[in-house]
Amino acid sequence: MTWLAILLGALAAAASLLWWRERALRRGESRAAAQQRALAVLAAHADDVLLLIDGQDRIVEVNERAVATYGRPRRELVGRPVRDLRTAEMAGRFEADWDSVREGGAPAFETVHRRADGSTFPVEVSLGHADLDGARMRIAVVRDVTERRRAEAARRESEARFKAAFHGAGVGMVLVDARGTLVDFNAAICRMLGYPHEELAALPFQSLLHPDDRSGSLEAFAALVRGERDHNEMERRYLRKGGGVVHLRYTVSALRDEAGRFQHAIGIIEDVSERQELQARLAVSDRMASLGTLAAGVAHELNNPLSYVVGNLAFAREALAAGAATPPEALTQARQALDEANEGAARVRQIVGDLRALSRTGEDRREPVDVGAAVRSALTLAAGVLRPCATLAVDLQPVSTVLGDPARLGQVILNLLVNAGQAIGEGHAETNTIQVSTAIEPDGRVRISVADTGPGIPDDVLPRIFTPFFTTKSSGQGTGLGLAICQQTVLAMGGELSVRTRTGQGATFTVLLPPAPVALRPAAAPDPGPGPAAGPRGRVLVVDDEPYVGKTMRRILGGAHDVEVLESARAALERLAQPPAPDVILCDLMMPGMTGMDLHAALLGTDPAMAGRMVFVTGGALHESSRAFIASVGNPVLEKPFPTDLLRGVVAETLRRGVAALPHPTPVAG
């Protein structure tokens, strides 16, 4: 600002000089007189102090601003040594300051001047030279910089407070540039991520994001840099040094210059891992409560297919009791009965699989989720509860997969369905409707809607429906966690949950979720074409402590392979020490005494190739240790009950590859 003011002053002086010169010439004045008059006017009205100083460093002339600033009349200033304007403390620096200007150093310096009343004030002095009647003179422009000093002190104090708050905060604080590089951060971030300061400073902060959480976060930060938003708020997983995951909730705000250009982003970060664990436990608790609510309805859904499974099997047994003498029409009816029993068993298997997925515990997963499958699964489980309340209207349009936890999304849909049924109540199913639909919104998000024709939500209740433990239901009908957990789950998936209601006209809950990144969406399954040709005959060892399971697998596989069945892992270990070695080992994962995991570990020490030919079989309800084991070894898992074609397919695929493999990837449900 100082040099800008000097430049503007020079331009003003030149303009004034020209104006006065032209006017003086018109009046017949000399050029010298015109210049003097112009400079006198300019000096008189200058905002800065102007001093004319001779070769002995004495003041020759001053302007009116000098008189006002120093509180002395002109006669007391003219003739005074210019060093006398300084305070006693700064007088000793006079020669050094002026010599620096004489020797071509800085064109200006700062010092402290005093007024007639003894008060002091900081100044900035700029020096120039001029010739007056053949004498060499100095011109000093003195600017009072009190306000500037105050502003600078206030800025330094503000920066010091910010630095103290930034580095002393109990929450994490980061400052990043447009590339996501850490410019500054505090010790709390180092503690959260387990990195020493020097190591963390060398890393792009976003590189520490969990791989499954990077896509949406990077896009949100890019939008911040482009100016499309001013802040981001989300929860994401970050990777700690040496392994492990920490859940961080952060709010990142953009810092922009006066023109609106992005300069930096400042983030306030909180470790919410413990809260996430608590929410996960509450979610499991709510899921278990939901299962309790659904128990009677699920039992009804199971008993229906079980009744015709049992009845058809009994009929087929009676029809075939005559053996070769069985009439052709009885054989036809027996075959039809077995087909219906098989369909009923498949329906039971689907319901059990839905229950298993809903009750899964452990760390949340982030993977592409088939929304239609999640809705159908929830409808299956809720059917028994909803049937006495309303008619179901289902409109599931094809939608993109979303990124999240299948069990958590299933819980959201199930809670919304059960809430709709409870809002309507039992007894008037023919006059009420629960409509479930999926669609793609114009902005590309996936919409899931659950609408009911119940009484709606009262205005005084509506603001609190997502508050944890708030419920209007009678005792035993709800924990007050359902909708709160639904909202947290949807938010964690990057979506939103909203409700539209009017008293007496029902309620519509809508879930909006961003589609999974294209790179993570599963490719369309290829047409399998005709069934595989019969492969080579192999040796299959079945290890299962349930005798009927072993017998069933021998019946299914015995026509194409040599099958041996053992009922304990210890007996299998003894058998495997003798030739011939089996080509495929179908082994129950959990058995009393020695487990399938123990058998695999023993084989790794003696025959790793044989351990690689193990296919594990499980009834589900895997513990975390079992899940970790399966993930670490990579052997495939068949879940009971499994279709016969899948069992034959896994044996054929393992024989073909020489290592245990499924014909198609099959996720492990919990």
Strands 108-114 and 120-132: antiparallel
Average pLDDT, the chain: 79
Give the tokens for residue 470.
Answer: 């708030």
Q: What is the mean pLDDT of residues 635-664?
A: 87
Answer whether the bond into residue 468 is a cis peptide, omega within 30°: no
Tell me: the pLDDT tens digits for 194-239? 889 888 888 877 788 887 777 667 778 888 888 888 888 877 888 8
Residue 113 pLDDT > 90: yes
Residue 138 pLDDT > 90: no
**In 443-554, at which residue ranges do the beta strands (DSSP E only) sit?**
446-452, 496-501, 507-513, 539-543
| Its pTM surpasses 0.75 | no
- Whole-angstrom distance, CA of residue 272 vs CA of residue 277: 9
- Whole-angstrom distance, CA of residue 401 vs CA of residue 489: 16
Contact present, 441 and 449 (Cβ < 8 Å): no
Give the tokens for residue 202.
Answer: 């060398």
What percent of the chain has pLDDT above 90?
A: 24
Tell me: the pLDDT tens digits for 399-423? 999 988 887 888 888 889 988 988 8
Domains of the chain, earliest start first: 2-149 (3.30.450.20), 163-271 (3.30.450.20), 277-518 (3.30.565.10), 539-657 (3.40.50.2300)
372 or 289, higher pLDDT: 372
Question: For position 485, what pLDDT does the model report?
Answer: 73
